[in-house]
Homo-oligomer: A and B are copies of this chain.
Amino acid sequence: MRLFLKRNVLEVHNHIAAEIGRSFRYNQVFCVNILGSPGSGKTSLIRLTLEALADKYYIGVIEGDLATDIDTRRLRQYNIPVYQINTQGGCHLEAKLIKSALENFDLARLDILFIENIGNLVCPAAYRLGESRRLVCLSIPEGDDKPAKYPPIFQNADLLLITKCDLEDHCSFDFKKVERDAKAANSRLEILELSAKTGRGREAWINWLDKEMLTVRRNR
């Protein structure tokens, strides 16, 4: 009974997510669902990207948080459309929340939409949001055992971004181990390194974004 109910609920979510995905393809919106633990560098990644690409693309952001609009206020300075979802304690974003949030965006005009999910390396993995690509941020201080210990979120991702690489000298972190464990969970996962502080890896991240946008537009 419980399993049936759960599958049924997920089917409803996936149905709404598929509808959102169609709308993104129709409007040529490249949507990236950004996942990761609290403090893994999700907002810093968005800020870095806005600084690099806000002149080239029209970018929007949906911010997911349990409470507060701290990140939304941080992003408003870039003069882009930002919409805040507060889940009131909820541990992940769901497609129906995204569907409502999208009413606040001009999809026909939008090039890129970032969805910053709730900081949580577990629950958001199960919920599709209609995204074009799914990205997991894993910061150096979180430790190199995380892909082995939290496999589901890596299984469903397109890109693993190893963040806060400026802390490499102060933390014990084996990049090869992370790569091995993450690829064991998901062989097609791409992996990049980034430091929002020093700018290391910024170009490779922007190139990935450009490349994937092009692929999605070609395949729509």
Contact = CB atoms under 8 A, between A and B. Distances in A.
Interface of A: 37-39, 65-68, 70, 89, 91, 118-123, 139, 141-143, 145-146, 148-152, 164, 166-167, 170-171
A66 B141 contact: no
A67 B139 CA distance: 20
Nearest to A145: B70
Contact of A150 (B38, B123, B143, B152): B38
A150 B66 contact: yes
Contacts of A120: 91, 120-123
Count of identical protomers in the assembly? 2
Given A39-B142, A67-B151, A141-B167, 12 more contacts: A37-B119, A37-B142, A38-B121, A39-B141, A66-B152, A91-B122, A119-B121, A119-B122, A119-B150, A166-B170, A167-B167, A170-B170
A65 to B, nearest CB: 6
24 contacts: A37-B39, A37-B119, A37-B121, A37-B142, A38-B142, A38-B146, A38-B149, A39-B142, A39-B143, A66-B150, A66-B152, A67-B151, A70-B148, A70-B149, A91-B123, A118-B122, A119-B122, A119-B149, A120-B122, A123-B123, A141-B141, A167-B167, A167-B171, A170-B170
Nearest to A5: B5
Contacts of A170: 166-167, 170
Nearest to A92: B122
6 tightest A-B contacts by CB? Answer: A39-B142, A141-B141, A91-B122, A39-B143, A37-B37, A38-B121
